[in-house]
Amino acid sequence: MSMKRNPVRILWTLLAVSVLQCAGAVEKQRVEHEADLPRFSYTVTGPLETLVRDPVAFDRLAGKIRADIESVLDQYEIADKAALRQRLGSLLQLDFLSGHYDAVLARAEAIRALEEKPADKLLSGLRVRAMALAAQQSGAINSPAYFDAVGRSIKEQLDPLPFAVIANEIRAAKAGAEIMGEGLILGSLRDRLQPVVDKNGALSSDLAPALINIRYALVAGLPLKSVLVRTYTDYLDQHKIEKADIWAARNVALPSAGSYTPVRVAIWDSGVDSSLYPGKLLTDASGKPVEIAYDLQARPTTGELFPIPAPVQPKLPELLGRIKGFSDLQSNIDSPEASEVKQFLSSLKPEEFKAMAEQLGLTGNYIHGTHVAGIASEGNPWVRLLIARISFGYTLLPDPCPSQELSDRGVAEVQAVVDFFRRNQVRVVNMSWGGSLKSFEHDLELCGIGNGVEERRVLARKYFDEEKNALTKAFASAPEILFITAAGNSNENASFAETVPAGIVLPNLLTVGAVDKAGDEAPFTSYGPTVLVHANGYQVESFLPGGKRVALSGTSMASPNAANLAAKILAVRPNLKPTEVIAIIRNTADTSADGRRTLINPAKALASLAAH
């Protein structure tokens, strides 16, 4: 399937920049899907690094981008607040770069009013408010007086806030500051955006705002690195209290003896190290794990793990160490792996970015399915795992590029895999992956396919609809199977963004959002009407290939926690239908006071079976 994306976003989660927004006009046209908003194109020539470093050249392009964003906000009522915040965030960055600090403060407050998650409501715009106030007080940015004022302001804003609510976000902010470096900032510019300009002579309104982010990072972010690291470190050192873990009391391990039924669970993912799950695998007559596999071209292949190219194999131990280093940074753990990652990324040269990003992406694919399988099978000796390996792209530029041939093979792959599940009497399928209509448009632009934004829009819609329809048809063809999928890690409405499988509505499909160990909403989790339950998806420990255990975060980790519960329910009551399993999970879940989270409760779910 060409829509699948790298499911592990460890590095990019740490590097993400928060963006914000405000409200607007009258007589607007309401937009219910991201794809229905207009696109724009900007002629760009020459080196992009020169453009983002030259204030005059940058301002010319930025003025056009600003005008188009403002026209969209004036003319359209955008249903999703995340989409609003994204566009207003670009305007806020332009306000700061232009020295319009009163406008920055006003826009930051307007964006905060659009925030939906508890931590975001508290932290939205905190850093940029400190920067704008400091610039007003000191008369300029990036002076010693400015740096001191920014640090003091961030501390003063953080001190009265409830640490338990914002702890994860501050740890992530500290980690992001620690790995910040010019090589990371400029690397994606050189190796991802520059090739688009070289091919097309233009950037779309989907990609052009990245230039704003990059100039903002160079001018306003990177100079603050030491201030941010020191301020966040001091704050975390003063707040050592750990959040309460609600999951320990909720989790249930099934005994290895008793009147239980083995349950076949498919891990439809990037591959599984089967040696780690003895006794929990479905095997064929020869004792080999039952598996099916497809390569990046959506063609049948073999092998239970995503292949590591020969030149990269000697570096695999180092790359696995960096995965752990990212995890430790996210948890504010001072480990040798975390120190190595900080040193490596903060000193990275721009020309080293491509190899780094692609090798980490490749490693993420290699480990993902194994980690997911461990979560799905934890505490259940009755689970029988099937391996359905698919291949996620990991290169900065798409490879392969979208095409009709690839789409046709992807459609066939989907149905073939589901037919494989049916033949092997699978009861639960976990899918910790997804894609969107926009991802097709991005890939077409990055590949230089299509004559402008409108042609790409039409072509992307065609490919997306073909694969969405294939998924919907395949799931519907197996009503006896419960399909469970991740909501996505984009902090957006999955339905507004047209994300699949998360946005598909079927009676045998369950979409899962992520919370942390205390049940607080994860900062990255997507949401929306199809996201029916939430599970632990923040720093969840499981296996990597080879046997080491590492904590990873993502809705990729929340989804198999729900699959784990579904498999345990079916081990107790094997005759239940998917709709009945979903009903038990939902009816025994706990709804948060704000109504945003529906937390699965395995103990209550399994106890409800014994009561009937």
pLDDT digits (tens, 9 = 90+) for 109-122: 999 999 999 999 99
Coil/strand/helix, residue 440: helix
Under 8 Å between Cβ of 434 and 471: no
Instruction: Name the nearest CA neighbour of 136 among 154, 124, 122, 149.
Output: 149
pLDDT of amino acid 22: 35
How many Å apart are CA 210 and CA 544, to the nearest integer?
Answer: 33
pLDDT of 3 > 70? The answer is: no
- Residue 181's identity, in one-letter code, is G
User: 10 falls in which pLDDT band (50, 70, 90)?
Assistant: very low
pLDDT of amino acid 612: 63
How many Å apart are CA 200 and CA 445, to the nearest integer?
Answer: 8
Dihedral over alpha carbons 308, 310, 312, 318 (to 10 degrees): 80
How many Å apart are CA 213 and CA 221, to the nearest integer?
Answer: 10
The chain-wide mean pLDDT, for the chain, equals 94
Rounded mean pLDDT of 396-412?
A: 98
pLDDT digits (tens, 9 = 90+) for 444-494: 999 999 999 999 999 999 999 999 999 999 999 999 999 999 999 999 999
SS (H, E, C) 235-252: HHHCCCCCCCCCHHHHCC
- Angle of helix 163-179 relative to helix 316-330, nearest 10 degrees, comes to 140
Long-range pairs of 458-464 with CB within 8 A, sequence gap ≥ 24: 459/402, 460/402, 461/35, 461/437, 462/407, 463/2, 463/3, 463/402, 463/404, 463/407, 464/3, 464/435, 464/436, 464/437, 464/440, 464/498, 464/500
Instruction: Look up residue 416 and give its two tokens.
Output: 């073939």
Under 8 Å between Cβ of 570 and 480: no
Enumerate the β-bridge partners of residue 509. 483
pLDDT of amino acid 528: 95
Who contacts 404 (Cβ-Cβ below 8 Å, separation ≥6)? Answer: 463
pLDDT of amino acid 453: 95
Instruction: Look up residue 360 and give its two tokens.
Output: 């980490």
Most distant CA atoms of the chain, gap in Å: 76
Q: Where are the beta strands (DSSP E) in 365-426?
A: 383-389
How many Å apart are CA 418 and CA 292, to the nearest integer?
Answer: 11
pLDDT of 140 > 80? The answer is: yes
pLDDT of amino acid 127: 98
User: 243 falls in which pLDDT band (50, 70, 90)?
Assistant: confident
pLDDT of amino acid 11: 43
User: 18 falls in which pLDDT band (50, 70, 90)?
Assistant: very low
pLDDT of amino acid 15: 43
pLDDT of 19 > 70? The answer is: no
pLDDT of amino acid 26: 56
Under 8 Å between Cβ of 34 and 443: no
Rounded mean pLDDT of 14-30?
A: 51
Peptide linkage before 560 cis (omega within 30 of 0): no
Long-range pairs of 330-339 with CB within 8 A, sequence gap ≥ 24: 330/10, 330/13, 330/14, 330/171, 330/172, 330/175, 330/539, 330/551, 330/553, 331/171, 331/539, 331/551, 332/171, 332/174, 332/175, 332/236
Peptide linkage before 545 cis (omega within 30 of 0): no
Torsions phi, psi of 271, nearest 5?
120, 160
3-state helix vs strand vs coil in the chain, percent to 5? 50, 15, 35
pLDDT digits (tens, 9 = 90+) for 179-230: 999 999 999 999 999 999 999 999 999 999 999 999 999 999 999 999 999 9
How many Å apart are CA 265 and CA 278, to the nearest integer?
Answer: 15
Who contacts 407 (Cβ-Cβ below 8 Å, separation ≥6)? Answer: 2, 462, 463, 466, 467
Instruction: Look up residue 386 and give its two tokens.
Output: 């099937």
Coil/strand/helix, residue 9: coil
Enumerate the β-bridge partners of residue 552. 540
Other Cβ atoms closer than 10 A to 258? 10
Rounded mean pLDDT of 414-418?
A: 98
pLDDT digits (tens, 9 = 90+) for 514-560: 999 999 999 999 999 999 999 999 999 999 999 999 999 999 999 99
Enumerate the β-bridge partners of residue 203. 42
pLDDT of amino acid 217: 98
Under 8 Å between Cβ of 81 and 110: no
pLDDT of 24 > 60? The answer is: no
What 8-state DSSP symbol labels residue 383? E
What 8-state DSSP symbol labels residue 46? S
How many Å apart are CA 174 and CA 332, to the nearest integer?
Answer: 8
pLDDT of amino acid 611: 66
Under 8 Å between Cβ of 324 and 336: no
Radius of gyration over alpha carbons of the chain, in Å? 24
User: 21 falls in which pLDDT band (50, 70, 90)?
Assistant: very low
Rounded mean pLDDT of 5-24?
A: 40
pLDDT digits (tens, 9 = 90+) for 328-363: 998 899 999 999 999 999 999 999 999 999 999 999
